[in-house]
């Protein structure tokens, strides 16, 4: 047995979490989210640096999302026979190369290409992260392992993006992308040194894409992903117009800080409990988010109510990715990576759909309609979870 195989077997048989490997996945997610979202806070500087308007510079975010959306399913399907560690390293090296090109490029078109290809790396990364984390641990720790691997996302949103934006204004946006490339170099060394490796899926175990889609439980999870993430992004994308109506125009930063901090707390709570009560956590999270939406609808004139509702929103959404990725991994079994790529695609569609639906609501019914639109979507998600008690969101824990 090779040393890599021995370390993998040891990790899988231990009752302790393999922190080095899981935190490497979390760091990969941190870099991924930071790469995706950072340009949104630096559009004036990026536009000036590339000689384009802010609106045109904003397409750097669009191209990244498009790359992730288009790549997730086909590339995850094509690479499911690859060994996991080399594939992970290839994704991280992708961030290293394409963030370096972004930092050095003076051409808008070349930068767009680099952003699209960085999104491709992200699509493959998200398709494999949960499955990789689950293979490192025994059944009783699978949910917790996914929670640790996903901590990079809320930390990037709560801490990384504000810090990156501050540094971008202070020392220049190109310097921030250089820093992210440096983090990718460190992560390559970390993964090469500490990460266990696992074989890809055997050809005899691979189901066709449409057969994975119709596995019991996969479709209910994808429906919940769409409803949950769509409702989140309607509010998150247009939080500034909503707060303007409530008289909190100048407290957007405080509201987003509350959301970011509570989302980190949320993923910590989910990590502690998910292996024992996954179905109940999903129901509680959706019901609490629905209650927060109701409070935002009827109590928007009271700042304290708004702050409290945002705190509940953050608590419930922080662990959403962990809960949903665990659910679809259990439903898909040996074909978890392909199912994860479907989740990534649904998630990205919901992000775009949230922006579009929010714009339509804003122009037709106004921001007062946001909480009620969220409430309807969340009630739909609750109904799907309630009915999916045998497959998708079963009573049994993920360890069973």
Q: In a 10 Å sphere around its CB, with 0-12 CB exposed, 13-18 middle and 19+ buried, how is residue 193 labelled?
A: exposed
Report the range out of 65-74, 220-229, 265-274 with the highest average pLDDT.
Answer: 220-229
Non-local CB neighbours of 276 within 8 Å, separated by 6+ positions: 397
Residue 392 lies in a domain: no
- Last residue within a domain, chosen from 158, 181, 205: 205
Q: Is residue 159 predicted with pLDDT exceeding 80? A: no
- Domain of 347, in residue numbers: 209-387
Chain-wide mean pLDDT for the chain?
87
Instruction: Check whether residue 282 and residue 298 sit in a common domain.
Output: yes
Q: Are residues 26 and 55 in the same domain?
A: yes
Lookup result for tokens 């009783």: 140
Render the burial of 1-26: b for 16+ CB within 10 Å, e for the rest: eeeeeebbeebbeeeebbebbbbbbb
Among residues 335, 325, 399, 350, the alpha carbon closest in space to that of 150 is found at: 325
pLDDT digits 0-9 by tens, 380-392:
999 999 999 988 8
How far is the C-alpha of 150 from the C-alpha of 31, rounded, in Å? 12
Cβ–Cβ < 8 Å for 389, 216 = no
| Count of other CB atoms within 10 angstroms of residue 390 | 12
Residue 53 lies in a domain: yes
Tokens of 79: 């690479």
> Which pTM value belongs to this model?
0.80
End position of a domain, from candidates 153, 186, 205:
205
Q: In this structure, what CATH number is given to the domain that contains residue 263?
A: 1.20.1250.20
What the block records as the tokens of 207 is: 């189901």
What DSSP character marks residue 396? S
Number of domains in the chain: 2
pLDDT confidence of residue 398: 41
In a domain, 397, yes or no: no
Overall residue count recorded for the chain in this entry: 400
DSSP 70-138: HHHHHHHHHTTTS-HHHHHHHHHHHHHHHHHHHHH---HHHHHHHHHHHHHHHHHHHHHHHHHHHHTS-
Q: Is the pLDDT of residue 318 over 50?
A: yes
Residue 173 shares a structural domain with residue 242: no
Give the model's pLDDT for residue 3.
47
Do 257 and 109 reside in the same domain of the chain?
no
Q: Are residues 171 and 237 in the same domain?
A: no
Higher pLDDT, residue 40 or 71? 71
Q: List pLDDT tens digits, range 96-110.
A: 999 999 999 999 999
Same domain, 160 and 276: no
Long-range contact set of residues 298-301: C-beta below 8 Å, sequence gap at least 24: 300/242, 300/245, 300/246, 300/368, 300/371, 301/246, 301/247
Same structural domain, 182 and 268: no
- pLDDT value at 161 more than 50: yes
| Residues 224 and 336 reside in one and the same domain | yes
Rounded to 10°, the helix 320-332/336-364 angle is: 140
């Amino acid at each position: 047995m090779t040393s890599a195989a021995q370390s993998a077997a040891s990790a899988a048989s231990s009752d302790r979490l393999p922190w080095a490997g899981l935190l490497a996945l979390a760091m990969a997610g941190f870099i991924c989210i930071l790469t995706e979202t950072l340009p949104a806070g630096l559009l004036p500087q990026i536009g000036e640096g590339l000689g384009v308007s802010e609106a045109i510079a904003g397409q750097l975010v669009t191209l990244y999302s498009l790359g992730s959306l288009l790549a997730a399913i086909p590339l995850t399907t094509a690479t499911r026979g690859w060994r996991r560690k080399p594939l992970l390293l290839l994704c991280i090296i992708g961030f290293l190369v394409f963030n370096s090109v972004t930092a050095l490029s003076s051409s808008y078109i070349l930068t767009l290409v680099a952003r699209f290809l960085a999104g491709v790396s992200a699509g493959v990364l998200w398709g494999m992260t949960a499955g990789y984390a689950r293979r490192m641990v025994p059944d009783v720790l699978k949910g917790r392992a996914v929670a640790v691997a996903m901590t990079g996302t809320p930390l990037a949103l709560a801490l990384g993006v504000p810090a990156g934006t501050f540094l971008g204004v202070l020392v220049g946006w190109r310097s921030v992308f250089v820093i992210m490339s440096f983090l990718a170099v460190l992560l390559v060394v970390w993964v090469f040194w500490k990460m266990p490796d696992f074989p890809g899926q055997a050809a005899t175990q691979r189901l066709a894409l449409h057969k994975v889609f119709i596995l019991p439980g996969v479709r209910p999870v994808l429906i919940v992903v769409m409803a949950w993430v769509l409702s989140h992004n309607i509010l998150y994308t247009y939080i500034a117009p909503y707060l303007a109506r409530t008289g909190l125009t100048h407290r957007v930063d405080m509201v987003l800080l509350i959301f970011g901090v509570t989302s980190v707390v949320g993923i910590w709570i989910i990590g502690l409990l998910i292996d024992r009560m996954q179905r109940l956590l999903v129901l509680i999270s959706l019901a609490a988010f629905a209650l927060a939406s109701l409070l935002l609808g009827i109590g928007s004139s009271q700042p304290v109510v708004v702050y409290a509702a945002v705190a509940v929103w953050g608590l419930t959404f922080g662990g959403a990715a962990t809960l949903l990725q665990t659910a679809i991994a259990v439903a898909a079994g040996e074909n978890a990576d392909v199912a994860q790529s479907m989740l990534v695609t649904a998630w990205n569609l919901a992000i775009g759909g949230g922006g579009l639906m929010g714009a339509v609501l804003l122009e037709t019914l106004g921001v007062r309609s946001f909480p009620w639109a969220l409430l309807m979507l969340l009630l739909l998600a609750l109904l799907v979870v309630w009915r999916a008690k045998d497959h998708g969101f079963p009573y049994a824990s993920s360890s069973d």
